[in-house]
Each structure stands twice: as structure tokens, then as C-alpha cells.
Chain A
């Protein structure tokens, strides 16, 4: 009799718990603090960018948006920034590697929140949003254009807008139609044949193009997700509304994410990234050129004429701490790649810096098993996760979508 009653009570309690899903009451105070710290509500306001005087100029942002979607900003007239950074696809392209004029070696990154990064690209080979924007314009696999061609095009199509925002344009009439440091041999020779003043005049226009595009990109932000609404309820010490509550599986995944699975060690804070670079033994893609990650681009970012210590930076050199104090020689930089944000991650397979994994399940399996890196040391240590725990992690990641 009494035993039967007890069994019934336990069964009733179990059913109630299952129906209630995962309430905020299930988490410890320490877990709750971590959960609250990952809410979009915890994101600090976007800092100003003193290296770009036009970063918060609406006219510059509008011109930047025009340029971002203008296929005229390419050698063959078929490639814009928006070709790979698709506006209706989280500003990425769903491909393992981006395709401009040709196929690149890297996965196109989504752009929400990008203005908060200290370094850009998967390997951090540029140190500002505006200097980043210049690289694809000249990359032969992306826009494949040249610096003087962009200057001529800008003057012809947007000269009046440019001058209203930035500065008077120099006389470009005597400059080669297409010349630059990364073009064909003839274009490189034409660039070398220009005077220092001519090259600097073109570089100034080129850097302003980057600053306009950066001003536009600063407006790209993450939207609130179910996780954020859940975390905000936790912050306020109230029960989440029925549609924002996490299921028991999602709640289990969240607890693993910030606990045993160690995901939040790197995927930390409201953007789910530590803005740093890590070797996590992501395998190379057969057929692609050797790729050593962060270590391979240290010299490149230090030598970039458009970097923070170069003459095209606005404001004072005190803004250049990230470049000045960046890690330059640590063995940890070998095959280290940027920790990507996980916001909206479920909606943009494939994953990793060259689209190595097709599904989130594969990603979770990679981190759980922690294989050895082909070069350098992986920072990942294997974690024993059951099938159910892996599925729970994936279920949680899906709550990070709008």
C-alpha cells in the first residue's frame, strides 16, 4: 500500500519534471551567473573606433552599404562583398569555402557583431575592420581588382558622395587604369612606375573605401534568441515564459556547455567567443595549400601598410595596443584559428575555417574525441560524452538562433 503510494508519487513527480522541462531553478548560482553573462543583454555598447574617423558617420555607412553590394567593385563586375556575405544568409554563403572570382581557401564568416573583433579573418591577418575590407578587393580569388581601378571607379560613380564625406579627390587622370601591388605583372609594374605621391593618393582613397565599408558593417548586430530570453529570465530570478523555457534536453546541453564539456572556456561571454586563436586540431582539407593559421600571418599584419601603426590610421597611436602587444611567436599560434561566435550557428553549416564539418554533430564529436593536430599542439582534451549528452549539446546550440 504505502510502497504503491510512494511509487505513484515518484512517477507523478517525474512526469511533472519532464513536462516542466528545464526551469531556471535547476541551475546552481554559479551556473546562473555564467548563463547571465552569455546573454545578449550583457553585451557592452559597441566601442568607438578612433582609428576610423568615419566609423559612426551615417553618410560613410550609407556609402559603405552601397559599395558592399556593388558588383562594380571587382575586376569582372560580378563580385561584391555581398556575393559571399549574403544579406539574407547571416552575411555568409553556406559554402565550405567562399567563391568570388575563384574558390578561396577559407569559409566565409558571418558578419553580425564583427566590429567587436580585435583581429579579422580566421587567422587575424588584419587588425581593423577597415583594413580587413581592403584585402578581398585585391585578392585574385575574390574581387580581384586593383587599387587604381577602384580609385577611378569610385571617382566616376560616387565622386560627389565621397568628397562630401571624406575629402577632395586628387587628379587621377594621369594614373594607369589598372595598377596595384597584387595585380598582373603589368599592373604591378604600372604601380611601381607611379610616384610616391600618386601611390599615397590612391592608398588614401583605398583606405577611405575600407572605412566606409567598416562604417556600414558596424551596424550588423545579433538579434535576441530564445537562449537570451531564457537567460534574461534567470537574471531577473523569474520563470521563463512557456515559449522561452528550455526543454530538459536543451537545459542538459547548456549545463554541459558551461560545465563538463568545457565549451564556454573559449566560447565565452555574450558573443560566445574569447576573440582569440586556438589550435583545436581541426584537420586540413586535402588539396588546399598549406595552412598554418595564426603563426603564418604575424609578419603580414605587422607589415600591412593599412595597419594601426600605419599612416592611414586616424586618431592617436594609443589605439594600437592590440597590434603592439599581440602574441608574435608562441608555439600556440601554430594552426590556431579564431574562436567563432556561436550565435545562429545552427543555421549556417558547414563549420570550421575551411568548412571541414558538415553538421553540428560532427563538430561536437570532434571536440569530444579531441584528435591530435597535424601540426602544433591541440588545446582540446577529450571529454567522455554519451550519445545523449552530445545530442543535448546540439539541442542547446539550436537555442542560439533567432
Chain B
């Protein structure tokens, strides 16, 4: 093999390597960054630390189900006797929740049961929780993707 040929093959090899490297980078890079899916966060004004969890396993599309919302002060003390309002919807579809969920029970230790949740479509949903307690009124928005 002449040195000229060796250079050509080598150049091809380098280009192939570069393409391979770029495709690995491209294929493993995250797609469009999705919404923040954290299930624990501070409320907008910072009055409360909220966390949410489905009561009986991850929700399935179209099924009525319940969530447990835990409300604590920023110092970690459970908040009792809070009034919880529930709203939300699909920001990409500009519609609200298909049901009107309600906080139906206080379970102790700052935990409240939210009944009547339903996600009727696949996609990005928002759950907006309002909290009114002696420390003040605040709210937090959680994102869920089905």
C-alpha cells in the first residue's frame, strides 16, 4: 500500500470515528428537556414544603385514584388543619382536570388524602395545590407525565 493510500484510508477512518462519536453523543443526548417532575418542592412563596405520592401505585390513564399530599413547614413540622385546594390540567392542551378532586381526609402527620384524581389523556399534566393554614396561603405546581 502506498503512503498516499494509507493517508486516504486513515482519513476515512478518522471521519468514521468522528461520525461514530457524534452519533453516540446525539443519540444519548436527552430529547427536549421535559418539565420538572419532582414530587417534593417548596411552595411558591416558600411557606411550606410539599410532597405528593399516589396512594395506591402509579396512576393509570383514565382511572379514578387518590394522592396523598404531605404539608410541612420549611422547618419540617407537619401542618395540621390546612385547607387544600386542587386544580390543574394539561398546559399543552389548555384544558383543566377532567374531574374536580378534593381533599377528603386528614391522615395525620401533615398528610392529606386527595380523592377524585383522573388523568384522561396521555401527556403532560399539572397538579396545582393551594394550601391555606395559619402560616398563610401558598401554592405549588407539580408536573406529571403519563
Residues of chain B within 8 A of A328, CB atoms compared:
100
User: How distant is the Cα of A266 from the Cα of B120 in the complex, in angstroms?
Assistant: 8
B102 at the interface (CB under 8 A from A): yes
- Interface stretch of the complex, out of B20-28, B38-46, B91-99: B91-99
Task: Give 8 nearest A-B pairs by CB, closest first.
Answer: A325-B116, A274-B120, A325-B99, A321-B64, A276-B120, A276-B98, A274-B121, A327-B100
Could you pull out 7 A-B pairs where Cβ atoms are within 8 angstroms? A274-B62, A274-B121, A275-B62, A322-B64, A324-B116, A325-B99, A326-B100
Of all chain B residues, the one with the shortest Cβ separation from A328 is: B100
CB-contact partner of B101 in A265, A268, A275, A325, under 8 A? A325
Q: A274-B62, A324-B116, A325-B116 are in contact. Are A332 and B102 (CB under 8 A)?
A: no
Across-interface contacts of A240 in B (CB, < 8 A): none
> Is B102 a contact partner of A325 (Cβ separation < 8 A)?
yes
Give the shortest distance, in Å, between A269 (CB) and chain B (any CB).
7
B81: interface (CB < 8 Å): no
Specify which chain B residues have a CB less than 8 angstroms from the CB of A379 in the assembled complex: 93-95
Please tell me if the beta carbons of A275 and B64 are within 8 angstroms of each other in the complex.
Answer: no
B residues touching A (Cβ–Cβ < 8 Å)?
61-62, 64, 93-102, 115-116, 118, 120-123
Residue positions of A touching B, CB distance < 8 A: 34, 37, 265-266, 268-269, 274-276, 321-322, 324-328, 330, 332, 379
Note all chain A residues with C-beta closer than 8 A to B95: 332, 379
Complex alpha-carbon distance, A275 and B97, angstroms: 13
Closest to A47 in B: B63
In angstroms, Cα B98 to Cα A326, docked, is 8
In the complex, A92→B61 CA distance in Å? 28
Task: Give the chain B neighbours of A268 by CB distance below 8 A.
Answer: 61, 121-122
* Contacting residue for B61 out of A269, A322, A325, A330, CB 8 A: A269
Q: Let me know if A321 and B115 touch, CB within 8 A.
A: yes
**Bound state CA distance, A330 and B101, in angstroms?**
13
Which one, A37, A275, A321, A325, contacts B120 given CB within 8 A? A275
Taking CB atoms, residues of chain A closer than 8 Å to B102 are 325
Residues of A within 8 A of B120 (CB): 274-276
What is the chain B residue whose CB lies nearest that of A33?
B122
CB-CB under 8 A from B116, the residues of chain A are 321, 324-325
A378 smallest CB distance to B (angstroms): 11
Cβ–Cβ < 8 Å partners of A37 in chain B: 122
- Identity of the chain B residue whose Cβ is nearest the Cβ of A275 in the assembled complex: B62
* A265–B100 touching, CB < 8 Å: no
User: Is B61's CB under 8 angstroms from A327's CB?
Assistant: no
- Docked Cα-Cα span, A328 to B121, in Å, equals 19
Once the chains are docked, how many angstroms separate the CA of A268 from the CA of B100?
A: 21
A370 to B56, CA, bound (A): 39
List the B side residues contacting A322 at CB < 8 Å.
64, 99
The residues of B that contact A269 with a CB separation of less than 8 Å are: 61-62
CA distance A275 to B123 in the complex (A): 16
- Contact assessment for A327 and B99 in the assembled complex, using a CB-CB cutoff below 8 Å: yes
Shortest beta-carbon distance from A289 to chain B in Å: 27
Is the CB–CB distance between A325 and B115 below 8 Å? Answer: yes
For the complex, give the distance between the alpha carbons of A379 and B120 in Å. 15
- In the complex, which residues of chain A have a beta carbon less than 8 angstroms from the beta carbon of B100? 325-328
Which A residue sits closest to B118, measured CB to CB?
Answer: A325
Chain B residues whose CB sits within 8 angstroms of the CB of A266 once the complex forms: 121
Known A-B contacts A321-B64, A322-B64, A325-B101; the reply to A265 vs B123 at CB < 8 A is yes
Residue of B nearest to A271 (CB): B62
